């Protein structure tokens, strides 16, 4: 196994809404994920809101099309898993010590925007929220761990959603930039790596999750994307002005899409499917809208206007590096016999089933070669370093008692990560792709984004919280913990068990 660059950023990834808890502490406001209920593999997550007639509604997060008078919020009698998360808010010292024990070079977390600006619209930040992240970053730095900060990871303050439908409205850009400036200045010297929006392309699949928008449709997706692109480009510029050492990336839920057959119609379908990734990369890496998207807007009757000033902002605010989540590949077909034989996938990006590969217990197709293909494609298109900031597999881990100790044999994580690291190393060593680092998703068990359950576990660390509300939150090292520690120590040169 060829060695990876000495500067390679190994670590793990999380998001505030999925692990922090501390829902009403330190002056925090409510964010979009706080209004999203627990689901499971068979029960979808819902979002709660009130309409002007006083009725409380629950709508399925992935299909919701809420009325225009919806006022999103948190109501009695619903189970919102983000409110407790895994209680990182109180246990961050213990958790970061465990990351330090594994030798993390970097730790990806998000700042919970509503901790800093509770409704999103304040002009002055909330000091208690700022202080919390000071403490967290100091703790990371104590172990030599560089924080990698996502500025917005499914945590739009609800105040913005209720005031003007958040990212549908141009005014949200200013609120976001104020927030970015605030945290950029405050954490100067502590944080160097930033991501502007998690999985920015998910606005087309779950506008609620991605952008705190309850309605759907091509116009909505176009408006959200435009406003987030401008906001991201401004954030890049602001962070560079604050500290020229800052490196700012985008984040796209990425994949590789294959044609089901060599029928040119299937090949074209697969190419077009890739637009849902490349559109977002194109604008953030090149600084302008690609022609295929403008044509699509014309066909769909989407109103699109970009002022000269905003066009210049996009150009001036291209990202320093590209970051991706990669979980699975997908397949496109135009054959009615094949269509409908669908696979599951991250945020519904499954496509049809690929007969050549297996799938996780949640039906996400496992394809390490797809990661190598994805990395090559990004490097060839943009020649910007790529950071794999999410990858891994959700498994049904159990804690067992052996020789008086509680242990967890999560071989599924080790096998998945090993095969993907091998594919990534091939992309680096055989194909010459510049990959900066690798932070497996959910390095400590946390709440699932799509299903809202604890039962789907990704962690190197088992957290004893269960979906029925039992468990004391105690942390236990899984088998993968010791494996990951060894992989980091030898910089990926030995991936054996
Ligand atoms: C990505 C999100 C993460 C994370 C991951 C795994 O889409 O950025 O927040 O949760 O997917 O998905 P899930 O939690 O649904 O298994």
Coil, helix or strand for 17?
A: helix
**Burial of 357 (C-beta count, 10 Å sphere; 0-12/13-18/19+):** middle
Domains held by the chain: number? 1
CA angle, 226 then 227 then 229, to 5°: 65
Q: Which CATH number do you get for residue 445?
A: 3.20.20.80
User: How confident is the model at residue 118, as a pLDDT?
Assistant: 98
User: How confident is the model at residue 464, as a pLDDT?
Assistant: 98
Q: Establish if 284 belongs to a structural domain.
A: yes
Q: Establish if 497 belongs to a structural domain.
A: no
Rg (CA), the chain: 21
| pTM listed for this prediction | 0.97
User: How confident is the model at residue 345, as a pLDDT?
Assistant: 75
Helices then strands, counting H and E runs in the chain, come out as 15, 17
Q: Establish if 496 belongs to a structural domain.
A: no
Q: Flag residues of the chain having pLDDT under 50.
A: none
Packing angle between helix 171-186 and helix 218-242, nearest 10 degrees? 30
Ligand 1 centroid to Cα of residue 144, in Å, is: 26
CA angle, 313 then 317 then 321, to 5°: 160
- Ligand 1: does its nearest atom lie under 6 Å from the Cβ of 15? yes
- Ligand 1: does its nearest atom lie under 6 Å from the Cβ of 17? no
User: How confident is the model at residue 2, as a pLDDT?
Assistant: 54
Domain range spanning residue 376? 9-489
Q: Establish if 4 belongs to a structural domain.
A: no
Give the position, in ligand 1's atom list, of the atom nearest the Cα of 451: 15
Q: 3-state secondary structure string, 248-283?
A: EEEEEECCCEEECCCCHHHHHHHHHHCHHHHHHHHH
Give the position, in ligand 1's atom list, of the atom nearest the Cα of 253: 7
Q: Establish if 1 belongs to a structural domain.
A: no
Residue 201 CA to its chain's centroid (Å): 10
User: How confident is the model at residue 343, as a pLDDT?
Assistant: 79
Q: Establish if 494 belongs to a structural domain.
A: no
Q: Establish if 495 belongs to a structural domain.
A: no
- Ligand 1: does its nearest atom lie under 6 Å from the Cβ of 394? yes
Residue positions annotated with a catalytic role: 199, 390
Ligand 1 centroid to Cα of residue 15, in Å, is: 9
Q: Establish if 3 belongs to a structural domain.
A: no
């Amino acid at each position: 196994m060829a060695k990876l660059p000495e500067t390679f950023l190994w670590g793990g990834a999380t998001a505030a809404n999925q692990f922090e808890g501390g829902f009403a502490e330190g002056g925090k406001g409510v964010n979009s994920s706080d209004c999203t209920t627990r689901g499971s593999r068979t029960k979808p997550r819902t979002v709660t809101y009130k309409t002007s007639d006083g009725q409380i509604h629950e709508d399925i997060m992935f299909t919701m099309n809420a009325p225009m008078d919806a006022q999103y919020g948190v109501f009695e009698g619903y189970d919102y898993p983000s409110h407790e998360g895994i209680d990182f808010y109180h246990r961050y010292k213990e958790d970061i010590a465990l990351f330090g024990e594994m030798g993390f070079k970097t730790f990806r977390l998000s700042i919970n925007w509503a901790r800093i600006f509770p409704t999103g619209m304040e002009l002055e930040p909330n000091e208690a929220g700022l202080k919390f992240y000071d403490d967290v970053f100091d703790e990371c730095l104590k172990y030599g761990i560089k924080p990698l900060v996502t500025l917005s990871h499914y945590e739009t303050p609800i105040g913005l959603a209720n005031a003007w439908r958040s990212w549908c409205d141009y005014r949200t850009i200013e609120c976001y930039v104020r927030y970015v400036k605030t945290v950029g200045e405050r954490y100067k010297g502590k944080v160097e790596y930033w991501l502007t929006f998690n999985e920015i392309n998910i606005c087309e699949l779950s506008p609620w999750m991605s952008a705190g928008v309850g309605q759907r449709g091509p116009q909505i997706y176009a408006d959200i994307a435009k406003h987030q692109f401008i906001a991201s480009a401004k954030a890049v510029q602001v962070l560079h002005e604050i500290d020229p050492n800052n490196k700012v990336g985008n984040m796209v839920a990425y994949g590789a899409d294959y044609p089901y057959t060599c029928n040119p119609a299937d090949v074209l379908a697969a190419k077009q499917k890739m637009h849902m990734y490349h559109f977002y990369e194109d604008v953030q890496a090149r600084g302008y809208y690609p022609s295929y998207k403008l044509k699509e807007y014309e066909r769909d009757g989407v109103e699109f206007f970009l002022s000269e000033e905003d066009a210049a902002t996009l150009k001036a605010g291209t990202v320093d590096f590209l970051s991706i989540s990669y979980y699975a590949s997908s397949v496109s077909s135009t054959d009615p016999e094949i269509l409908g034989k669908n696979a599951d996938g991250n945020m519904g990006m499954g496509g049809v089933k690929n007969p050549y590969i297996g799938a996780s217990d949640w039906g996400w197709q496992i394809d390490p070669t797809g990661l190598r293909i994805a990395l090559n494609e990004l490097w060839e298109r943009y020649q910007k370093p790529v950071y794999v900031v999410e990858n891994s597999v959700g498994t049904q881990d159990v804690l067992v008692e052996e020789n008086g100790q509680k242990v967890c044999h999560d071989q599924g994580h080790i096998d998945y990560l090993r095969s993907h690291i091998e594919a990534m190393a091939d992309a680096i060593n055989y194909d010459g792709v510049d990959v900066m680092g690798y932070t497996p998703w959910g390095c400590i068990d946390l709440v699932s984004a799509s299903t809202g359950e604890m039962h789907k576990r990704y962690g190197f660390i088992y957290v004893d919280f269960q979906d029925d509300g039992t468990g004391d939150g105690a942390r236990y090292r899984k088998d993968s913990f010791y494996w990951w520690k060894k992989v980091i120590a030898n910089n990926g040169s030995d991936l054996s068990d």
